[in-house]
Structure 1
Amino acid sequence: LFRHVLEAVQHCASCGVLHRDIKPGNILVDLATGQAKLIDFACGTYLQDTGYTQYAGTPSYSPLEWTHFGWYYSKPATICSLGIL
């Protein structure tokens, strides 16, 4: 199941998209196949090389850099959200 979530996140990144709200409520699971889908891109944005200074996702899944410094980078933030998940 988690592998499917990782594949979805990787697909988003390959399309230049940062989800920014990875949490259990944004993952749908097809019970017949076990396939997971990442949904709700309302908080998403385009990937950028520079840091982000705005966060639109669920606070309890926010990256630690955002909580402590008010900025974050896409890859570490995504890894942090996946770790919390």
Structure 2
Amino acid sequence: MSSSSVEDLRRWVVQNKLKAIFSFWATGLSVSLAYQWTRPIPTQLKLIHSRVYAQALTLAGLGIAGVVQWLEEPPPETTPAPKATGFDR
């Protein structure tokens, strides 16, 4: 993957956070279901495990999106606080 395509993907994710998180969840659920279907357990457990794994991946994705947002925000401008004199004028 070239650096321009990585940058394009990053830019799309920043602009479409909810779509990216939903896509991450749907992909996680699909992969988890595919894996669970190979295991010899009841169907109800396969669905429950897949949902739980997809939720964990979604929480991780939300955390990553939050960190990316936090890192991309410009630092707030610092202005000195006015001196408190104790008098209202």
TM interval, shorter chain, is: under 0.3
Greater CA radius of gyration, 1 or 2?
2
Structure in which a larger fraction of residues adopt helix: 2
- What's the TM-score once normalised by structure 1's chain length? 0.27
- What's the TM-score once normalised by structure 2's chain length? 0.26
Structure in which a larger fraction of residues adopt strand: 1
